[in-house]
Amino acid sequence: MKQDTTELRLTFINVGYGEAILIDAPDAARPDGRFYALIDGGSAADSEFADRTSGRIRAEEYLAPLPRLDLAVSTHIHEDHLCGLYRVCRDHPPAVLRQTLPPGFYRTLHPLGDASAQNASECKFLAALDDHIRLCALVEQNGGSVEQNAAGDTLTLAPGLTAEVLAPTKTRADALLAAMRGLYATQQGIPEFREKLDALDGGMNNFSLMLRLTFGSVRILLPGDTNRAGYGGIPPEKLAADLFKVGHHGQLDGADAALVNAVRPRFSVCCASSDRRYNSAHPDTMRLLKESGAALYFSDCPPVDGQSIPPHRALEFTICADGAASVRYLP
């Protein structure tokens, strides 16, 4: 993992249907001259990694050689993003965890378990809610800090590398907090609890922490699971990026023409599973990105017209501050 260069490496780990994005940046102040951050960590479900023919690998396995984790980012509370992140952080407790709720709020919550789940989706969401509590507690127990971020924040991650927070707005963050409080104040097992659970699950994507990284002249837009309805109110010029990780796994609602025209990416990454679950890597969304002139890449190996994607454990971008970039699939 150590790189003795001045380049930024951005790695999309093949976690199947999910996202795990490693940032490896130059930072002379760090022990090995590098800064390491992980944005989400994919799923923790055994079923996600039962078939590894496409190269799938758990994030904690791929990152086992990592010397440390300086920063973890939890974009939102969904199983395919958060539960794998918790497991990475058990091995590499980060110095800082950035997420979208007040730092101490997790202490007011209690484990929900999955006894009240009536389908697989509810079971996964309940697991993510419980792992959110565990993740925040783990970070603080190991001397790290839990921080809340919202639109308008600008973070210096490493020399020459900044992250501008584009979403959620304070209003959206307050709505998430209110929905969480309402859910945990409701007794499990009654219809109202399930209604609130399903509503929060269904709206969670557009509570995602959306980041635009800047490294030299290169801009990278990482919107979590934000769908096309979640960009409202963000000035188009704030969305312009050289590399765009399309939201919501490239499903039909992941992007529209107005969004793609605002971003104008050179490269686009889609984190869709090899089985194209839930219509991820939707043909219309992929066509829209391709027609924009963006080069398309994938964290897994979904069947996509015109694309030959080799089995791989990860997709790696090597980026120079002057805008030069190279891309490769790592077997």
Pairing of strands 210-215, 161-167: antiparallel
Q: In the predicted model, is pLDDT for residue 1 greater than 80?
A: no
The answer for residues whose C-beta is within 8 angstroms of residue 305's C-beta and 6 or more apart is 283, 286
What are the pLDDT digits (tens) for 304-325?
A: 998 999 999 999 999 999 999 9
Q: Can you tell me the distance from the alpha carbon of 90 to that of 101, in angstroms, rounded to the nearest whole number? A: 21
The pLDDT of residue 243 is 98
Give mean pLDDT, residues 116-142. 97
Walk me through the domains of the chain, giving residue ranges and CATH numbers. 8-330 (3.60.15.10)
DSSP conformational letter for 223: -
CB 7 within 8 A of CB 318: yes
109-118 — which CB contacts under 8 Å span 24+ positions? Answer: 109/133, 109/180, 109/184, 110/184, 112/188, 115/188, 116/188, 116/189, 116/193, 116/194, 116/197, 118/194
Give mean pLDDT, residues 155-184. 98
Q: Can you tell me the distance from the alpha carbon of 156 to that of 163, in angstroms, rounded to the nearest whole number? A: 6
Dump strand ranges (E) for 20-123: 21-26, 34-39, 71-73, 96-99
Percent with pLDDT over 70 in the chain: 99
Give mean pLDDT, residues 228-249. 96
- The CA R_g of the chain, rounded to the nearest whole Å, is 19
